[in-house]
Structure 1
Amino acid sequence: MTTTDAYSAGPGVPQRMTAGDRTVIGILLIAAFVVILNETIMSVALPRLMEDLHITASTGQWLTTAFMLTMAVLIPTTGFVLQRLTTRTVFILALGLFCLGTLLAGLAPGFAVLLIARIIQASGTAVMIPLLMTTVLNLVPPARRGTFMGTVSIVIAVAPAIGPTVSGLILQYLSWRFMFLIVLPIAAIALIIGILRLTNIGEKDEHPIDMASVALTIPAFGLFVFGLNQFGAGGGGGVPVTAIVALVIGIACLLVFGFRQIRLQRSGNPLLDLRVFGFTDFRKSLVVILLGMVAMFGMILILPLYLQQVHGLSTLATGLLMLPGGILMAIMGPIIGRLYDRYGPKVLMMIGTGLLSLMLVAFAVSDENTPLWLLGVQYALMMGAGMGMIMTPAMTNGLNPLPPHLYSHGSATLMTLQQVAGAAGTALLIAIMAIRTGALARSGVDALHAQLGGIHASFLVGAVAAAIAFVLSAFVTKSAPVEGAGHGASESEPVAAH
């Protein structure tokens, strides 16, 4: 059904929210938090899994790599799926798959079953965030979208940030299986509540799916992300041939995929509608988000290495030191959203990117004698204030000008490119760290300081990415929703953005 009472002042532009609307968003927020939390929960579990399942580190890494590849392949299809299926159907399918994968993972007798379980989990996770963001855009009045996007940013950024802490606590006292068995009841309860309370939002589009486009997503996005990951796995020790081949094929298929979507736009049946790039505000905000994600994902990976290899912290202590950053982001998200609604994005994004760059520089000049409390404060400022002031304003400002028929495609595009940026950031910073470490070691520097020099180099590159985002933020202006979007806006051409 369509929520007509949310569109009282004009077609496609909601002016007020009902209690039912808030219930829908609340259910989706809980479900999305659970599935995204699971994405990084494996990050500190690899040593335990290697021991219990009798696998090598390179084999065990596939539990994370396969998850990321599945997300990269499926997210581009969610724009189409969200327009063809009802809200309830998509929610039940996504969270049902996640629950099935989580149960299978908790009971897995060996590595092969656990890997299949992670792929099933990722299949459900891929749909949930685009579903949440599209629903917020459909139900929340434009004047309050910043506040609600602040809450969405908690799910997108805080859940993966606290994942390592949660898994560290579980592994300290329980079997690795409880990483899944503890999450399962929460996900199951959210699924039951959704079945009972969730209502359908928007209207279905009956166009058939283009199977050629679906087939292209596998090499286009899957091989591209795989290639980037292989560069990171190579650690800078020469040019990995596998990574080059995967990237070349991936880029070629990506170009074919893009041209096919442009052709399909004429018939109104693209799998991923690229007309979202016709909106200036979307493009500007997207570039800032991607640069921030390169720095953030690399930081989340490099900082634990620094804390454990240079400062000698345990995985649990590392997770606890990083926890305040996630908590601060959770607190700041709605506050930053309200500030966006009142003042717009520019000042917030400039402060956020500036803080991110400064804190990365501070990490780049720290050493084994830097107090741990200071490192914790730097990380909290970087994540809680820095990334918080980037994600919420940029997401809201980028998606705001899109007409309703492009909401789901804009959300899917944003999430797809975030996955690519995360893989690129990880690969780039790990490779730079390894190259610099190797160069220092060959010059006679001791192992500890060679490692520290490599870590410093990766932090500085992250700082440069954030500094570029700072400059670009100065050109961002507050976007506005399209008047009469969805009915009055052209279905073939983007409405001129600010």
Structure 2
Amino acid sequence: MTTSNTIKQEIKRGPITVALIIGAFVAILNETLLNIALSDLIHYFHVTPTTVQWLTTAYLLVIGILMPVTALLTGWFTTRQMFLGAMTIFLIGSVICGFAPSFAFLLTGRIIQAAGSGLILPVMMNTILFIYPPEKRGGAMGLIGLVIMFAPALGPTLSGLIIASLSWRWLFYLVIPLAAFSILFAARYLTNVSEVTRPKVEIPSIILSTVGFGGLVYGMGSSAEGGWVGPTFMIIGAISLVLFVWRQLVIKDPILDFRAFNYPMYTLSTVILILIMVTLFATMILLPLYLQRALLLSSFAAGIVLLPGGLINGMLSPLMGKLFDKFGPRWLVTPGLLIVCVVVWLFSRLTVSESMLYIIILYCALLIGLAMVMMPVSTTGLNQLPKRLYPHGTAIMNTLQQVAGGIGTAVFIGIMVTGQKTYLSHVSNPEAQTQVLHALVAGMSHAFFIAMIIGVFSLILSLFLKRTIAPKEEPAEE
């Protein structure tokens, strides 16, 4: 019997999984918690939509910068140290956000929050891979899907309900005790399941990774404002990423082992997830803006519209994990992506007079489709990797997903703003409120249509997915 199997028998999976899920839920909830509040924050701090979107883009940017080094960090720190440290950082950021006197302080707090969030998800994924055998991972990953999909979906709803009766600051005041409870619960029940190997710290790789991922997302965000800054940072980021990948392939101890891409289902799954995350975050930021600024709904009403979809998604994710264990990925992923593509296409045809019921139905259908896609795709890819590549595989996959989300947020806000300007440039009275509303919807239609095209690419790729077989343990681990 292997040492790892002995450890799996000794640990208690239930308390460990619950501890991880509580912390991850609180942290991931913040990725979309402010989406409904963006309109309020624009007026409160007197900033533009392209400025306020940095509360989302910067959050994802920091996560994208941190995730490449998580494989390194998990070799230097225990499971408890990583998780408790990450949640403490997240708690500090939440306090700063709650009491922020200016937009700059609020953005700083969001960046600190992101520093904690960026470490939590890889810890959770690696721990699940370690304590559950491949044939049971679908169900476990389904529980993770409840967090990864349900938390962001629930964020706008909670935000709308809170803002309707309280100020935007309560979005952070209420998170503070939840984060504190997560720390206390994990301190009591979370045990160490990973091995501290203390790998070599490769400083040049860390610098190239930071400049690469950070420059790319920052450039995408700045491109919405026009000028030379965005394209310049995008070029710098792209060059740095090329050098980073090259260095990982030639050094002995890479911080990200790109040999994970030698496994075809892992590569295919990662590409599909990148495309889906772009589409997902485009929808998550555009739809609340549409509800509030085009349909003129209150924060409370917008939250109610988004609530059923979030609840359905949360309930379906564990079920989809069980179905994945039984049937494999293809019978879930391809129909799910077809649903996503159809719904996003219908979003691109919205007008200024749609009914709330119609939006509720579309949003529920979208999240049903996503529940059928996200966890089955990621589990398919990770199951094909050998154990030594678990930290690297999860770090690569999570990094690219978060960067894709950040790019999607920045790019689709930029497409929306450009579409608005184009529409208004062709009307006789661009200052009229009616024309402003039609311009907003026109800009969003352009953005949703591009998101639909990206979704079609992922649908085509899903036709090549197949169930993966876990590789045999390496001799060194026997």
In structure 2, the CA distance between the partners of 1:348 and 1:165, relative to structure 1 (3 Å rule), is: same
Q: Does 1:99 align with 2:91?
A: yes
Q: What secondary structure is seen at the aligned counterpart in 1 of 2:372? A: helix
**Alignment-derived partner of residue 396 in structure 1:** 379
Q: Which residue of 1 aligns with 2:431?
A: none
Secondary structure in 2 aligned to 1:257?
Answer: helix
User: Is 1:410 the equivalent of 2:364?
Assistant: no
The reply to whether residue 357 of structure 1 matches residue 328 of structure 2 is no
For structure 1, the 5+ residue unaligned runs are 1-7, 490-498
| Gap change, CA 1:47 and 1:464, over 3 Å in 2 | closer
Q: Summarize the Cα distance change of 1:225–1:17 in structure 2 as closer, same or farther, 3 Å threshold.
A: farther
Q: Is the 8 A contact 2:308 2:360 kept in 1?
A: yes
121, 132, 144: which is aligned to 1:129? 121
Where does 1:140-159 land on structure 2 (aligned, <5 Å)? Answer: 140-159=132-151
- Cα deviation for residue 333 of structure 1 reads 0.3
Alignment deviations for residues 317-337 of structure 1 (CA, whole Å, 9 cap, x no partner): 122211211111101101111
Counterpart check, 1:205 vs 2:192: no
Q: Is the 8 A contact 1:13 1:141 kept in 2?
A: no
Where do 5+ consecutive residues of structure 2 fail to align? 429-434
| Structure 2 counterpart of 1:33, one-letter code | F
Corresponding position of 2:307: 323
Measure how far apart 1:161 and its partner are.
1.7
Q: For structure 1, which segment, 336-345 or 19-28, has the greater mean C-alpha deviation from structure 2 after superposition? A: 19-28
Name 1:306's counterpart in structure 2: 290
State the Cα RMSD in Å: 2.4
For residues 263 and 55 of structure 1, the distance between their equivalents in structure 2, rounded to whole angstroms, comes to: 46
Give the structure 1 partner of residue 240 of structure 2.
Answer: 253
| 2:398 partner SS | helix
Query: What are the Cα deviations for residues 232-263 of structure 1, in whole angstroms up to 9, with x where unaligned?
Result: x33xxxx5311100000011111111111112
Which residue of 278, 281, 289 corresponds with 1:297?
A: 281
* CA contact 1:276–1:282 (8 Å) conserved in 2: yes
Question: Is the CA contact (8 Å cut-off) linking 1:210 and 1:270 kept in structure 2?
Answer: yes
Count of aligned positions:
472
The answer to whether the Cα contact below 8 Å between 2:205 and 2:255 also exists between their aligned partners in 1 is yes
2:326 is equivalent to residue 342 of structure 1: yes
Q: What's the counterpart of residue 470 of structure 2?
A: 481
CA deviation map 1:25-57 (0-9, x unaligned): 110011000011122222233454455556666
Residue 74 of structure 2: aligned partner? 82
Which position in structure 1 is the counterpart of 2:212?
Answer: 220
Q: 2:440 is matched with which residue?
A: 451
SS at match of 1:271: coil
Deviates more, 1:465-474 or 1:131-140: 465-474
Does the residue aligned with 1:487 lie in a helix, a strand or coil?
helix
In the alignment, is the contact (CA less than 8 A) between 1:352 and 1:387 conserved in 2?
yes
Residue 160 (structure 2) pairs with residue 160 (structure 1): no
Deviations 1:100-120 (A, max 9, x none): 222233334444443332222
Q: 2:457 aligns with which of 456, 468, 485?
A: 468
* 1:150 positional shift: 1.2
Moved more, 241-250 or 101-110: 101-110
Contact 1:11 1:487 in 2 (8 A): no
Distance 1:107 1:438, change over 3 A: closer
| Cα distance change, pair 482–373 in 1 and its aligned pair in 2 (3 A) | same
**Could you tell me how far 1:367 is from its partner in structure 2?**
2.3
State how far apart, in whole Å, the 2-side matches of 1:49 and 1:132 are.
32
Distance 1:409 1:76, change over 3 A: same
Is 1:171–2:149 an aligned residue pair? no
Aligned to 1:139: 131
1:242 to 229, 232, 250: 229
1:368-404 deviation per Cα after TM superposition (whole angstroms, max 9, x unaligned): 3432202111111111x11111101101001111111
Query: Identity, % of aligned pairs?
Result: 35
CA distance in 2, matches of 1:169, 1:475: 42
* Structure 1 residues 12 and 486, CA gap change in structure 2 (3 angstroms): farther
CA contact (8 A) 1:433 1:457 kept: yes
- For 2:346 and 2:472, the matched residues in 1 are separated by 45
Query: Given that residues 130 and 412 in structure 1 are in contact (C-alpha distance below 8 angstroms), is that contact kept between their aligned partners in structure 2?
Result: yes
Could you tell me how far 1:352 is from its partner in structure 2? 0.7
The 3-state SS of whatever aligns with 1:200 is coil
- Going from structure 1 to structure 2, the CA distance change for 1:58 and 1:474 (only over 3 Å counts) comes to closer
Q: Corresponding residue for 1:278?
A: 262
Shift of 1:485: 4.3
Structure 1 residues 61, 368: CA separation in 2 closer, same or farther (over 3 Å shift)?
closer
Check the 8 A contact 2:37/2:159 in 1, yes or no. Answer: yes
In the aligned structure 2, how far is the partner of 1:220 from the partner of 1:361? 33
Q: Which deviates the most, 418-427 or 286-295?
A: 418-427
The whole-number CA distance in structure 2 between the counterparts of 1:309 and 1:339 is 39
User: Contact 2:35–2:285 (CA<8 Å) still a contact in 1?
Assistant: no
Provide closer, same or farther for how the CA distance between residues 341 and 126 of structure 1 changes in structure 2, counting only shifts above 3 A. same
The Cα offsets for residues 69-91 of structure 1, whole Å up to 9 and x where unpaired, read as 22121111111111221111111
The answer as to whether partners of 1:25 and 1:136 remain within 8 angstroms in 2 is: yes
What letter matches 1:189 in structure 2?
A: F
Give the TM-score taking structure 1 as reference length.
Answer: 0.88
Say which SS state the counterpart of residue 373 (structure 2) adopts: helix
Are the structure 2 counterparts of residues 15 and 78 from structure 1 closer, same or farther at C-alpha, using a change threshold of 3 Å?
Answer: closer
Q: Distance in 2 between matches of 1:155 and 1:419?
A: 15
Q: How many Å apart are 1:124 and its aligned residue?
A: 0.8
SS in 1 for 2:196: coil
Distance 1:379 1:49, change over 3 A: closer
Q: In the alignment, residue 81 of structure 1 is paired with which amino acid?
A: L
CA contact (8 A) 1:12 1:485 kept: no
Q: Report the Cα offset of residue 93 of structure 1.
A: 0.9
Partner of 1:378: 362
Measure how far apart 1:455 and its partner are: 2.3
8 A contact 2:219–2:231 mirrored in 1: yes
Cα 1:247–1:322 shift into 2, 3 Å: same
Letter in 2 for 1:257: F
Aligned amino acid, residue 308 of structure 1: Q
Q: Quick one: distance in 1 between partners of 2:98 and 2:436?
A: 39
The CA distance in 1 between the partners of 2:300 and 2:291, in whole Å, is: 11
Q: Distance in 1 between matches of 2:409 and 2:40?
A: 23
Structure 1 residues 381 and 115, CA gap change in structure 2 (3 angstroms) = same
